[in-house]
Structure formats: C-alpha cells, structure tokens
Structure 1
Amino acid sequence: MTFDATTTAADVLAGVDLTGRTAIVTGAASGIGRVSAAALARAGATVVAGVRDPAAFDLPGVEARRLDLADLAQVAAFAATVGRADILINNAGVMACPETRVGPGRELQFAVNHLGHFALTAALWPALRSGTDAVVVAVSSNVRPDAPIRWDDPYFTAGPYDRWAAYAQSKAANALFAAHLDVLGRPYGIRAASVHPGAMLTPLQRHLTRDEMVAAGWIDADGRPAEYFKTVEQGAATQLWAAVTPSVAGVHCADCAVTPFRPDPADAARLWDLSARLTGLPDTLPAPAR
C-alpha cells in the first residue's frame, strides 16, 4: 500500500502484530495521542497512556498513568513505573498559550513540549534498553531548517513574550532532540525520528479563539476546517508509521514519508547539552549494562 496524507492510523497498522511490545504514548487523553494509543492496542501492544488525569481516561485496552510533563519530579515518578518500552511516542503538547511559567520559571511550551519529553526519555532509558529495537518518536511540526532556538533566553525572560515564537522554538527543539537521540541510541539499537502530523482540529487549539482561527484560514465562518486539514485518524498516521517502520531513523517525517529536512547536528548536540543543564540531568545516557 502507498501511504500519503490521506493514510489513517488503521491503514498504517493493518496487518502489523505488536503482541509482546510495550508502547508509551504521552498526551493520549485526546486528539492524535488518543487515536495512536487505541490503534497500538488494537495491534496487540501493551499500551500505557501518560495523561494528567487518569481518573478521567477511559480507552479500552489502554492503561492510564498520571504524567504531568511540566513537573519533572512527576515525570521521574511516571518513568519509575515502566519496566520496558519498545515504542515511546512523545505526543503531548501545548500550543500558543498565554505566557505561563512552571517550576523554576520555565516557559510552559518549552517546558512541556520539549524539556518534559527530554526528561521522560532520559528517565525511560533503562526501559528502552530493555525493549526490542526500541524507537522514540518526537511529535514536532512543520519545522524549518532555520527555526530558531533562543540559546541565551529559551524562557523568553529578556523581552516581550511571543506565544507563536515560543511554540515554534519548542517544535524545532523536538526535531533537534530526536536527531541527537538517534545518534546516541543507534549503537544500542534504539532509534528516533521526528514527525509533522499535519494540520487538524483537536484540543491543541484550545488557546485560540474562533476569530483567530478564521483569520488564519483554518476554519471558515461556519467552523468548517480548511480543505488541507486532516482528520484525527489521518493525523495520527505518521507517528505510528515512524514507530513501526524500521528504516525510519534520524529523520523528519510527514504524510508517512521522510522529508528533506535535516536538523543541524551541531545544534542538536548543543540543545541536548542545554536541556541537560536546564533540567539538572546528566548530558549523557548510560551505556547498556553488560
């Protein structure tokens, strides 16, 4: 089957047997995270959903555990409950929110979209090592080669806050993170890729007004999405495709295909070091036990 922008989660996993494999999906309470978790469970995987409110989560075949990516102590506590991970889909995210600070003054979008997932992946490293041909998928966006990282002011403390610039930085960070993680993990059989799921209407737009979305051309005056918008089933397809396609590693993907975008390796390594300093975590991942 040829996959493209119209491919759905069900299409990607048709005939795929994930029995015996464990998948972790963050942000699985709604949107493409929920679709991904459900599709992985139907394919036979043991699926753990990282959500902020497990009591409100109800998805057959999927176990929910509390995960607040803005709280690094809670991230560590979640990871401590996971003994094995074959698939990690870092899907959770926040977009274009008002200026919000968490922890020791971290800007929310960078904290949740990037730093929380950075810390989660590091904490899950033993579980990923215990997996078989483990893969980490970072859900990024339509990043550009020149997408900026504010190396000296990642939290937007030195000037006016720009919610869209903050979002763009966090999504660029997702792609850079996956690129360097693939370099670090490849000697141990752990691979990583970043994906752009495409445009769709989900709770990710909760911080945007209807008028803003109409002005952006995302919806019309009656609330109908633009023609290029995907369904949520289509939006979940690329991250699942990256998770189950062994040849996809160290690349950025969209529409169930590899894109020409390649993060700068030097920037990817630099961001890894910066992220370690900002989270207080080691800047290296331990080698597998002999």
Structure 2
Amino acid sequence: MPSRQFPIRSGFGATTTAVEALAGRDLSGLTAIVTGGYSGLGTETTRVLSEAGATVVVPARDAAKAGAALAGMKRVELETLDLADPASIDAFAGRFLASGRKLPILVNSAGVMAAPLTRDARGHELQFATNHLGHFRLAARLWPALRAAGGARVISVSSAGHRFAPIDFDDPNFERRDYDKWQAYGQSKTANALFALELDRRGESAGVRAFSVHPGGILTDLVRHLDIEDFRRFGLVDEATGEVRLERRQGFKTVEQGAATQIWCATSPQLDGLGGVYCEDCDVAEPVRGAGEERHGVVPWAMDPEAAARLWPLSERLADIRFDAA
C-alpha cells in the first residue's frame, strides 16, 4: 500500500488554535479519555473537548493537581491512573469498561521528557515505559470500548524529538548501552509514532483509526527535568548573565496553538478515511530524509511499517499483555 504520509493542505497552520481546529463541531454525547489531561497541552485539550459538549475522562496520578487544574470545567470526570503501573492501568480501564460507555476518542497525551535514568518496578526505562508501554497497555485494555464506538480515533502524542533516535530493538531499556536522556526521549517518541502506524493498520477494519502528533515547540511542565545546557540548546539562555529567559520563545507555540493538532486529529472530518499518519500544524506532515537541523516533518524510522510491525510484539512482551487489535 502506498504511503499516505503527505500533506492534505487542510487550510490550517502553525498558529491555528485548538478552538479554531475544532471548527465549531458539536461533540455532545461523545466520551473522550485524555491522559495527561490536567497539565499543559492536556488541559487545553480537555477544555476544548468539554466545551464542545464531550464528556472528558481525565485519569491522573496527582489527584490534587488535577482537581485544581480542571476546577469549574463541565463534563469532566477525574479518575486515577499511573501509566508506569500495570495494575493501575488495568484498574482504570476496568472501571471505564464497567460503565458500559463507548470510546470514540482516546488522546494519549501524558508523558515525561529528558528525565534522568529511572526505572519502573519492572526495570523498564521510565520514558519508554511511560510514554509508550503505558499507553500501549491502556489502549489494549480499552480496546472493547474503542471498537464498540463504531468509529474511533486514537491520538498518540509524539514529538519532533522522534528524530533524536530510532528504536533500539536490542536494548530498549538501556541495560547494555550508556544512558542518554535525549536518546531515550527520542526513542519513546519514535515509539509513539510507530504505535499509531501499526495500531491503525490493525484497527482499521474495526473502525479504529490512529494518528501520531507533533504539537510543536511549547514550554510546559515537560521542561522540569531540563538543565542550563538544555535551555541553551533551545536558545533560552541570556549569555551575558547566564540566566534562563523564557520570554525568548521565538518559534515556540502557545498552549492553545500546541493543542490544536491533537484536537484536529481527534475530530476533523478532513481525516475521514485516513490513519496511521504523523501530523503537525493541523496537517499531515511532510516526510523528510533524515534528522537534520530543521524541526519539521517526520523522518523515515518513525514511519517505517516494518519497524512498526516489529515494535508490536516487543511491546506485548515488555508490557506483558496480548493486544489483538482487530
């Protein structure tokens, strides 16, 4: 099958906001789950979906923080979930399935970035475990509700950081190679893109389509692990004083703009009949040849169907779950 990875000229762009990307659609009666829906881009995604009429379930590891961030929002339900804990994922999914609701929208937005080497209880490197394996297990457990929707979309929030690294299939958990926080982050974001590609292939016959998303450069809580050299890399250091100057955010998006592409992918009829593609700036992204200095487009290793197919059984083994998406 020829690649669908080419722009469709949606008419939107880098400055489009989430509200603009929604384009006035009425989501009344629909249910969405937004992981990380109480922080950064997730909060804006929750707000826009709920204000359009959807009931939004926001699973949170920090209930107090989630409650404060989402206070006053209508049709928002707070739940408990730790993506690094399989038992927590299973319990959350079990409660949702017991409610009997269908799930037309699943936005996998939660994540960690450039964290120091940390391992979960199973020994998996935390960025890969949280950003990919946790969402893989969550989608597997929620599969009956996704399939029952008769037309569902799964949004896998990736990043331009996917260009930092492909999947190291021989050592995904940095057990034999030296740990590099950006390599680990890049691997997890590549995994997000490949997961959407393979999930879409497997789920299309069941009416479940999947998309991966680069939100754009946004300064959110994800930067909490960055050091001065990381900020320098992004041009946010005043070299005269050595201070981090977050107001120097040329080229960065607002949160409203950053949430636009995942809202577009979750709701836009422009994507009907499509799936498995990596999107940015409210359009399907351009394929690029390699990980150069430019920050746009998707590199070959993040849209490789053979790598996507290979990642699936690895993810089943590491997450200790069988995911028959069909």
TM-score by length of 1: 0.94
Asked if 1:219 corresponds to 2:236, the answer is yes
Q: Which amino acid aligns with 2:131?
A: N
SS in 2 for 1:228: coil
Alignment partner of 1:237 out of 260, 281, 286? 260
- Partner of residue 98, structure 1: 116
- Answering whether residue 34 of structure 2 is matched by residue 25 of structure 1, we say yes
Q: Are 1:268 and 2:268 counterparts?
A: no
Shift of 1:191: 0.3
Given that 2:157 and 2:214 are in contact with CA atoms closer than 8 Å, whether structure 1 keeps it comes out as: yes
The runs of 4+ residues in structure 1 deviating greater than 6 Å are: none
Superposed CA offset, 1:90-122 (max 9, x none): 000100001001021010000000000000000
Aligned 1:188-207 pairs, distance under 5 A: 188-207=206-225
Three-state SS of the structure 2 residue aligned to 1:274 is helix
CA RMSD of superposed structures (Å): 1.7
The within-5 A match list for 1:125-140 is 125-140=143-158
- Opposite residue 121 of structure 1, the aligned amino acid is A
CA contact (8 A) 1:220 1:226 kept: no
Which residue of 2 is the match for residue 77 of structure 1?
Answer: 91
Gaps of 5+ in 1: none
User: What CA distance in whole angstroms lies between the structure 2 residues aligned with 1:149 and 1:272?
Assistant: 12
Count of residues in Structure 1 that have an aligned counterpart in Structure 2: 285
Q: 1:53 aligns with which of 55, 62, 81?
A: 62
Distance 1:125 1:75, change over 3 A: same
Q: Is the 8 A contact 1:201 1:225 kept in 2?
A: no
1:280 counterpart letter in structure 2? D
For 2:167 and 2:281, the matched residues in 1 are separated by 25
Q: In 1, Cα distance between the equivalents of 2:163 and 2:234?
A: 24
Q: Tell me, yes or no, if the aligned pair for 1:137 and 1:239 is still in contact at 8 Å.
A: yes
TM-score by length of 2: 0.84
- Range with bigger deviation, 32-41 or 247-256: 247-256
Displacement of 1:84 in angstroms is: 2.1
Q: 1:217: Cα distance to partner?
A: 2.8
Q: Say if 2:89 is the partner of 1:66.
A: no
Letter in 2 for 1:256: C
Deviation at 1:143, TM superposition (A): 5.5
